[in-house]
Structure 1
Amino acid sequence: MGLRWLSLAAVSALLSAALLALHIPAAVLLGCMLVGLVFSVWGAPLAVPRRAFGWGQGLLGCLMAQSLHPDQLGQVLAHWPVVLGTTVMLIAASSGLGWWLMRRQIMPGTTAVWGMAPGAASAMVVMAEDYGADVRLVAFMQYTRVVAVTVVAALVARAAGAHLPVAASAVDWLALGAPANLLLTAALVLGGSWLARRFDISGGAMVIPLLASVLVQLVWGVAPALPPALMALAYASIGWSVGLRFTRGVLLHALRALPRVLAAMALLMGVGLASGGVLVLAMGLDPLSAYLATSPGGADSMAVIAATSSVDTSFVMAMQLARFLLVLLTGPAISRWLAERGSA
């Protein structure tokens, strides 16, 4: 068992390093997920402890919180009708496409709805499991969309001349941050994980640290420390947790459904592009920031792309957070409502 974990870690590190060298956003997460999938399908059963998965979610929540600033939150509130309208438009489109996939029996039950949900991909996987969907197929759909949207967004950013490549050597993997900030990180992540388990809050392991981190930054001006090595472990825990759940049967089903799933995702990306156009016209936002703000690729991946592009990162994350929270609040009710009509 120990040798399997060492092999998994070694191969994941190699693939992640290759993806990092290619400047692929969320490289460690995607690399670990793909390697975990291969290990699982080829008969090397391993499982990431659920608490480790929750801690990874909490660290992602803190990362998302660091991209938010009061002035940009104020900008979102000042234009709330446009923001709400574009957000609802994207959620309605994803729900309709999920219903179509479910009705056509391309994906079972509420799996299709959760798989198309345009929230933070990793949080959607956690919530889908809590509400009875097949978490493996949800993960397949969510991260297929993440990859597709991430690649397109990265290409768009590069074509627009807004990409700011960061060499792998520029990352100080030994940096830890101030001890007080590290303690704050531990308190937010461990406390959020405990509260989520104690009160059975779906997605709480990510949402609680995210909101608490925003509050701490607004009130005391202190941000949690997020060392690169610690974030790499967070990405690895999430990637492995998803990848190691795949079986050959699930993978074959996913591959058979892939063409129609990709078609649905292309339509969803088109709706996101149209929503971005509305922001450009209504708010005077630059096109790339608007595209990333309404992109259905997962808030964590968009955070990485926005951070490495000359765009309005704070507004992008504020919009992504607004959509994520709306999906978090409405997702369970929407999935139940569509499931009833899909089986009718």
Structure 2
Amino acid sequence: MKPDHSEEPPVPVATGIGRRHPALQWLCLLILSVFLAGILELTGIPAALLMGPMVAGAIIGMNGGTIRLPRLPFLSAQALIGTMIAETISPGILVTFFGNWPLFLAIVFSVIAMSTLSGYIISRLNILPGTTAIWGSSAGAATSMLVMADAYGADTRLVAFMQYLRVVFVAAAASLVARFWAGVDGVGPAIVWFGPIHFVPFLETLALALVGGCLGKWLRIPAGVFLVPFLIGSALSVSGMLVIEIPEWLLAISYALLGWNIGLGFTRPILAHARRALVPTIVSILVLMAFSGLLAFILVRMLGIDPLTAYLATSPGGMDSIAIIAASSNVDVPFVMALQTARLLMVMAVGPSLARFVASRTVSRD
């Protein structure tokens, strides 16, 4: 008999830092984020401006913090990051994809199959109900998986916990691999935080992020707020119709907002609600990451690309976090984004049907 996750937990009493005024909580979060990002920058960890706020948000959330990032700043950050990544895309991305599409599809479907198998095993062990386990284990964009999970009756709190825990694991592992295994020094050249701004390209870039993000939201495309500005911006940038310009200070804010949105989701009530699934979830994440590493090794041997590019390309989400780490490292960003985008689209295409099929199989055998 499966555990009953239908009852809502009691409303938690504010504890720890949650007893403080929200303004003070935001101030603590900001100070802690700057401190941790600075430490990670000094150690040469790529994407320190993402990882520092992510860890800071988790610390605040797990110590009773009650603040949450409003939806609009988070979506704005996604649109800007998608636009920023578009600047790195070259015409060779299509040549790369179509020249190796059988291998790309095989890798994408292998990751989907492994993640689905993990969800199936968690469900068969009666740790979580079928749909919750499947959506929580699905290797797609975390935000999109939450929307779909809610539509198909899964426990969205557990799905959110499983998805964002994987995002944290994958992002942390990718940063550490880039720094200590691949030898990528995240410090790099000095960053000009407040350099001169060319206002026409800057305004055009903001317009692209705004229009593309709104279009992705309006069309209800999974991860559309990130994906549509990325795709439109790539086309305009490659064709020479647009010069993308985003100042470093605005990128830093976008990275921090994304990190806060992930980190603040790790609250005491959610951790308490998910405690039974914690160890199996971590094991399934580590197995999926190891499997992705094996796929990366295959890419290195068959295509001769560098190991870090292969590792980031096969990493099982989240797409926006991997994009930031790739942009901060000396890798083939178009290759990484080609494979990541293909995986996202395939998950969106087959995910609902696959989840229903596997969930029905787990129910029918109980």
TM-score of the two chains, using structure 2 as the length reference: 0.80
1:326 maps onto 2:337 in alignment: no
Q: 1:8 to 1:269 in 2, by over 3 A?
A: closer
Paired with 2:268 and 2:60, the residues of 1 have a C-alpha distance of 11
Who is 1:141 aligned against?
162
Alpha-carbon shift at residue 26 of structure 1 (Å): 3.6
Alpha-carbon shift at residue 160 of structure 1 (Å): 5.0
Alpha-carbon shift at residue 320 of structure 1 (Å): 1.8
Paired with 1:15 and 1:82, the residues of 2 have a C-alpha distance of 39
Amino acid at match of 1:35: A
Structure with bigger helix share is 1
Alpha-carbon shift at residue 255 of structure 1 (Å): 4.7
Who is 2:93 aligned against?
72
Paired with 2:153 and 2:39, the residues of 1 have a C-alpha distance of 36
Describe the superposition over 1:196-244 as per-residue Cα deviations: whole angstroms up to 9, x where unpaired: 4434333221121111111211223524223222122222323333443
Who is 1:119 aligned against?
140
Alpha-carbon shift at residue 64 of structure 1 (Å): 3.0
- Aligned partners of 1:174 and 1:229 also within 8 Å: yes
Who is 1:2 aligned against?
23
Q: 1:261 to 1:307 in 2, by over 3 A?
A: same
Who is 2:331 aligned against?
311
Describe the superposition over 1:262-299 as per-residue Cα deviations: whole angstroms up to 9, x where unpaired: 22122212321232233234323334432332222433
**Gaps spanning 5+ residues in structure 2: where?**
1-21
Match of 1:190 among 210, 213, 218: 210
Greater mean alpha carbon deviation, residues 5-14 or residues 212-221: 5-14
**Gaps spanning 5+ residues in structure 1: where?**
none
Paired with 1:218 and 1:317, the residues of 2 have a C-alpha distance of 15
Q: For residues 182-331 of structure 1, what are the structure 2 equivalents within 5 Å?
A: 182-331=202-351
Q: Secondary structure at the residue paired with 1:172?
A: coil
Match of 2:199 among 151, 172, 179: 179
Identity %: 41
Q: 1:163 to 1:191 in 2, by over 3 A?
A: same
Which protein has the larger Cα radius of gyration, Structure 1 or Structure 2? Answer: 2
Greater mean alpha carbon deviation, residues 185-194 or residues 73-82: 185-194
Amino acid at match of 1:209: P
Q: 1:191 to 1:93 in 2, by over 3 A?
A: same
- Aligned partners of 2:46 and 2:329 also within 8 Å: no
Paired with 1:155 and 1:38, the residues of 2 have a C-alpha distance of 20
RMSD over aligned Cα, in angstroms?
A: 3.0
Paired with 1:246 and 1:158, the residues of 2 have a C-alpha distance of 26
Describe the superposition over 1:98-137 as per-residue Cα deviations: whole angstroms up to 9, x where unpaired: 2222333434553433333333456555665666655554
Q: Secondary structure at the residue paired with 1:194?
A: helix
Greater mean alpha carbon deviation, residues 117-126 or residues 327-336: 117-126
Match of 2:38 among 17, 26, 30: 17
- Aligned partners of 1:280 and 1:290 also within 8 Å: yes
Q: 1:242 to 1:109 in 2, by over 3 A?
A: farther
- Aligned partners of 1:213 and 1:223 also within 8 Å: no
Paired with 1:254 and 1:145, the residues of 2 have a C-alpha distance of 14
Q: Secondary structure at the residue paired with 2:289?
A: helix
Q: 1:51 to 1:127 in 2, by over 3 A?
A: farther
Greater mean alpha carbon deviation, residues 257-266 or residues 297-306: 297-306
Alpha-carbon shift at residue 301 of structure 1 (Å): 3.5
Match of 1:83 among 104, 121, 137: 104
Q: Secondary structure at the residue paired with 1:170?
A: coil
Paired with 1:128 and 1:65, the residues of 2 have a C-alpha distance of 29
Q: Secondary structure at the residue paired with 1:9?
A: helix
- Aligned partners of 1:149 and 1:296 also within 8 Å: yes
Who is 1:28 aligned against?
49
- Aligned partners of 1:292 and 1:306 also within 8 Å: yes
Describe the superposition over 1:125-157 as per-residue Cα deviations: whole angstroms up to 9, x where unpaired: 566566665555444333433343344444444
Q: 1:85 to 1:128 in 2, by over 3 A?
A: same
Paired with 1:23 and 1:111, the residues of 2 have a C-alpha distance of 38
- Aligned partners of 2:82 and 2:229 also within 8 Å: yes
Paired with 1:97 and 1:278, the residues of 2 have a C-alpha distance of 22
Q: 1:253 to 1:67 in 2, by over 3 A?
A: farther
